[in-house]
Structure 1
Amino acid sequence: MTRFHTIISQETIKPSSPTPPHLRIHNLSLVDQLAPNVSIPFIFFYKNYRQSDITILKKSLSQTLTSYYPLAGRFLATPVSQIDCNDQGVEFFEASSDSRLRDLILKKELDETINQLISNYKLSNNPNLVEVQLNHLSCGGVALVVSISHKVVDGYTMVNFINHWANFTRGGSPKSPTFLSSKSDMKLPEIEGTNTVKYATRRFVFPNSKLNELKNKVNVLVNPTRVELLSSLIFKCAVSAATTLSGCIQPSDMYHMVNMRRKINEENRPEIAAGNILTLAMVKMGADFGEIKLNEVIDKLRKEITEIKEVRDVEEVGEVFLNKVSAVGDDKRRIYLFSSLCRFPLYEVDFGWGKPEQFMLQNGVMEANVVHLIDTPSGEGIEVIVQLEEEEMKIFQKDQEIVAYSQDI
């Protein structure tokens, strides 16, 4: 049996250069303020780690924090609307484990064995905006976990931050980002909720060959992307599982995050824009729809995304996000949150040890129906990380369509 990880060391890494006084206070954008106040752990598995690299790793992280200075700061107040960029730094943990790399990357359930890799996993009010844990595995490989506050940045910025760090580690000179901040004094209450339901998180892999097979069977008005097709299938099957368990159809909504960097005006889009620059495509299915049909979900999702493409201004992105998220608190509707990291350079994160063998993503302490889509290491399919209520997951994973179009990890 795998024992709990042993923490070897802990060190605070601060920016290599102090943040200038005029950048000391960072105002969160409207989307930042609406984003969940949780840290999202990104987990990278490497088999060729060299112990001598630890000093370089910490030094390059310090350099990276100079460019990503808000991440070394602290939130000022509640509700959160500002960051004090005070250079307090990020926590860097080293840990040892009995686990082997191969055993970890073949796990279907993201359970306590994976959670042990993550620093302060169960801490819901962690003041640190970034934490790193380097886990030394028994086989000589490592699991590098970078947990970053979603209140400050989205997945795209998280990946850029980690690649920026990796680039510095290899001796490169990556370009610095530009953090977008709010132009208004609007203060918003945080969206919070309590939940006593137990959730299960599981990985599924859908090869492109199977997705093409599914696409050929679906009668839709437009040719869906892989992400649109698979997101719609997961939503349909998740709602079906909930309906089977409860015995009745409950109104259900899909909220799909959409990266807006390529859609806003060129003059408002820095080359590397940092922060939460996204909005939501929303698909609403009422109880009167009866059994959800896949083609209906695909058509609704595509229509939403097409309308969102008309947004051309950073401030308007925030307004659209606010309008969409205002309905999340309706406890009469089941909410499913979707996020796609497909085509993000996750498998280009090279610290000098080669590309990662596997990337995983956990939901932090977020207790909700959450789905993440990620490219497989080979690029020949999509891995889906699904978090559902435990009893619903038991039904979902046996759904005929999930079984038919997925393959073993």
Structure 2
Amino acid sequence: MDSYGTNFSVSIKQKDVVVAALPVQNHWLPMSNLDLLLPELDVGVFFCYKKSDFYTENVNLLKKSLAQALSPFYPLAGEIVQNIHGEPELLCNSRGVDFIHAYADVMLKDIDLHHPDDSVKTKFVPVKKSGVFSVQVTELNCGGLVIGCKFDHRVADAYSMNMFLVAWAEISKSEAISTVPSFRRSMLNPRRPLLIDSLYDTLFVPLSSLPPPNPSVPTNPLISRIYYVKSEAINNLQSISSLNGNPKRSKLVSLTAYLWRLMSECEDGSKTCRMGVVVDGRKRLDKLSLPMENYFGNILSIPYGQVVSDQLRDMPLSQVTTLVDDFINVATTEDHFRGLIDWVELKRPKQAVAKIYTKIEENDGDAIVVSSGQRFPVESVDFGWGKPRFGSYMFPWGGQTGYVMPMPSAKSNGDWIVYMYLLEKHLEIVETKGSEVFHPLNSTYLDF
């Protein structure tokens, strides 16, 4: 693919602010203790659609259905401000959502989706300048369409945003929304008295306890890439991971273990190689009288493991998957999430962050966090002119910890799409020693 896949122009046709069809009375919505674990980060997501006629009608439909969707999902139309304690809080004031209508002088098949930093990041996913949520709808010169969104991670995790995207699509087709969101923060209240376990001090750390950044120490930039993984490769990793008398491992655990061992080949042998996994706590807390499946907000924990690189690279994959399962299992109970809520309460108003996002110990090597995007509803984000041919999250968050998010392919054939935000040395090992598993995303695979 030539440079045209990234070197094309995007022009703005119109900018609007879309407000909720039924604005709410101004009120404050506190963040839960689990929301407070997130620093100020914006997350992108985008969907690509093949040729669709009547652009003006499509864009007007999107605006109208967005206004309707913002009524039940009203926090997305608000703003985040600081309360008297310096903590973020949601002001639900019906500010609205910035909506950009744009045109890109490029064909869908020519967009280089393997290099999204150059082709997607500032062209199809909007820069959120204010508010909680922003949208950009971009027409392509082939008749295709790209819908990009940016949201504040402090307000929503990927599960919550998936819920909203599906509801927005359902409303655009005049269907009732399948999930009505709940913002009942009392469901995540701390216990009284607080019950604290020392485990949380190993997984999370107050920001105030971290040393100030040293500007004289150079940092290496992280780079975004998107790959596809064939279903046969995923199944093969799962089979290898389950050898030597091990129980059958999940596909996500198997892929995580494979990445962890690949990563160790880039590291100084004496340094630890760290791998974390994002765990959604909804199912763990679902024993409450009200189900958590419609809770809108963050219910996440990030357990991690660390192994000296020399040891890790010599392990069989089945042994590495055992390590992954072991560190994930500490965060798969209701008590874990209840304890985490209590731990944050104890530290407030000091903000804390997942420890894997930091380098504290002298032998701390590089780190990667894997987030499960298997619930990514790419097939369900159909606004009335057909399903997306491609969709992905995009999270170039700017830190020094890598981020990987596997998602189902829009082909619905068991393949995965994997977004990676990693150091260049890690991407090089992915594309050399990991080339039988990870294939650079291209228009041939996507059948654009």
TM class by shorter-chain length?
0.7 to 0.9
Report whether the alignment pairs 1:85 with 2:92.
yes
In the superposition, relative to structure 1, how do residues 358 and 290 fare at CA in structure 2: closer, same or farther (>3 Å)?
closer
Which of 200, 211, 234 is the matching residue for 2:259? 234
Q: How far does residue 89 in structure 1 lie from its aligned partner after superposition?
A: 0.9
Give the distance between the partners of 1:271 and 1:290, measured in 2 at CA.
37
Whole-angstrom CA distance in 1 between matches of 2:356 and 2:396 = 23
Question: What is the aligned counterpart of 2:168 among 165, 168, 186?
Answer: 165
List 4+ stretches of structure 1 deviating above 6 A: 190-195, 320-324
Residue 107 (structure 1) aligns with: 113
Q: In the alignment, is the contact (CA less than 8 A) between 1:130 and 1:146 conserved in 2?
A: yes
Three-state SS of the structure 1 residue aligned to 2:156 is coil
Please name the residue that 2:302 is paired with: 280
Letter in 1 for 2:299: I
| Residue in 2 that maps onto 1:359 | 391
Q: Distance in 2 between matches of 1:138 and 1:331?
A: 50
Work out whether 1:70 is the aligned partner of 2:75. yes
Q: Is the 8 A contact 1:5 1:116 kept in 2?
A: no
Query: Which residue does 2:122 correspond to in 1?
Result: 116
For residue 249 of structure 1, report the CA deviation from its aligned partner. Answer: 3.8
Aligned partners of 1:5 and 1:117 also within 8 Å? yes
* Alignment CA distance shift 1:327-1:102 (3 Å): closer
Could you say what secondary structure the match of 1:209 adopts?
A: helix
8 Å contact from structure 1 (residues 29, 180) kept in 2 = no
1:149 matched residue in structure 2: 152
Q: Equivalent pairs: percent with the same residue?
A: 21
- Number of paired residues? 396
59-68 vs 257-266, which moves further: 257-266
Give 5+ residue unaligned stretches, structure 2: 195-205, 442-448
Please report how far the alpha carbon of residue 189 of structure 1 lies from its aligned counterpart in structure 2 after TM superposition.
Answer: 5.7
In 2, the alpha carbon distance for the partners of 1:157 and 1:285 equals 33
Q: Deviations over 1:369-396 (max 9, x none)?
A: 1111111122322221111122442233
Matched, 1:309 2:312: no
Cα displacement (A) at 1:40: 0.9
Aligned with 1:252 (options 269, 273, 291):
273
Equivalent position to 2:421, from 379, 387, 390: 387
Q: TM-score w.r.t. structure 1 length?
A: 0.87
The 3 A distance-change label for structure 1 pair 276 and 234 is same
- Residue 376 in 1 paired to residue 398 in 2? no
1:306-336 per-position Cα deviation (integer Å, ceiling 9, x unaligned): 3433226864453578998245433442221
2:431 counterpart (370, 385, 397): 397
Question: RMSD value over aligned CA atoms?
Answer: 2.9
Instruction: Give the corresponding residue for 1:33.
Output: 36
For 1:393, the aligned partner's letter is L
> Aligned-pair distance for 1:58?
0.7
What SS is found at the alignment partner of 2:436? helix
Alignment of 1:343 onto 2:369: no
Alpha carbons 2:264, 2:313 under 8 Å: kept: no
Q: 1:314 to 1:164 in 2, by over 3 A?
A: farther
TM-score (norm 2): 0.80
- DSSP 3-state at the match of 1:267: coil
Structure 1 residue 404, shift from structure 2 partner: 2.2
Shift of 1:80: 3.8
From 126, 129, 134, the counterpart of 2:132: 129
The CA deviation at 1:259 is 1.6
Query: Could you tell me how far apart the structure 2 residues matched to 1:166 and 1:317 are?
Result: 34
8 Å Cα contact 1:277/1:317 also seen in 2: no
| Other structure's SS at 1:405 match | coil
